[in-house]
Amino acid sequence: MVKFLVIGVLVVIVFPVCASAHYEGELLPDSVAVMEYQMVIQMTPKDTLTRNKLGMVYIRQGKLDKARGEFMEILKVDPKDFDALDSLGMVSDKEGKYREAAGWYTKALKVRDGDAGVKKRLDAVNGKLKDKLR
């Protein structure tokens, strides 16, 4: 028993990225990160942090429907999750749904008033909406 405990501790010390349940940084390709995140979510379905990371990978991969699904699952657990609201704005923007994106960004700003990044993205989609009307 002690032998297995020692081996487990060594694995965590020597290979922290492999032993970590949460992928941190850009050390692994997105395809590997997706598999890791999916495994974590299967074990802990209400893990909003991991779901958010998975959604962001899906955005990078251009899998916007999958990204939207992950962020919507987060909102079922926490309707005021700032990152999910902001990310849904990004997904909608990439889909060309600027009015919807503005709505998500506005909801995000209600959670975290004055966030510079969200304000910038909201201004950008409002600009796109104005251009569309011209």
pTM: 0.78
Q: Which two tokens stand for residue 55?
A: 């959604």
Class of domain 29-133: mainly alpha
Q: What is the dihedral of CA 121, 126, 127, 129, to 10 degrees?
A: 130
Domain ranges of the chain: 29-133
SS (H, E, C) 64-119: HHHHHHHHHHHHHHCCCCHHHHHHHHHHHHHCCCHHHHHHHHHHHHHHCCCCHHHH
- The residue written with tokens 């922290």 in the block is 16
Give the pLDDT confidence score for residue 26 in this predicted structure: 58
Give the pLDDT confidence score for residue 3 in this predicted structure: 54
Instruction: Give the tens place of pLDDT for each residue, 10-65.
Output: 333 434 343 333 334 557 899 999 999 999 999 999 999 999 999 999 999 999 99
Higher pLDDT, 23 or 119: 119
